[in-house]
Amino acid sequence: MSDIRIEGLKKLQKKLKDNVKLDDVKSVVRHNGAKLQEGVMNNADFKKGYATGTTKRSIELTLQDDGFTATVEPMTEYSPYLEYGTRFMEAQPFVRPAYDVQKKKFKQDMEKLVK
């Protein structure tokens, strides 16, 4: 068998460390989490059924894992019915569309950190 030798790992690790500061990553996570929350709230204008605005007001942003994870979620127990619908009610997606938009921006922001 031949030996495989990989060179340049220390140089790569140093470059990544120099380019990406953990505080920068946390900042990107926090910023994109806030933008996602804003997008979900903007989408939470329901036109069908009995709309009171409770779901829109319940949308929370939570930062976890020392700022490396952002969670945005509506806190009403019936929000999945709004998002996915039921056999009696048509779906009115408000989380997934905002997520699909924001995930592209998040990826771009993270890529900027390593360039």
Q: Residue 47 has what pLDDT?
A: 82
Q: Residue 21 has what pLDDT?
A: 77
Average pLDDT of the residues in 65-79: 95
Is-contact 73 59, C-beta < 8 A? yes
Average pLDDT of the residues in 46-73: 92
CA dist., res. 1 & res. 18, Å (int)? 37
Would you say residue 97 has pLDDT above 90? yes
Element holding 114 (H helix, E strand): none
Q: Residue 9 has what pLDDT?
A: 75
Q: For all residues of the chain together, what is the average pLDDT?
A: 89
**Which residue, among 78, 83, 90, 98, has the nearest Cα to 36 in the 3D structure?**
98
| pTM: predicted TM-score of the whole model, two decimal places | 0.80
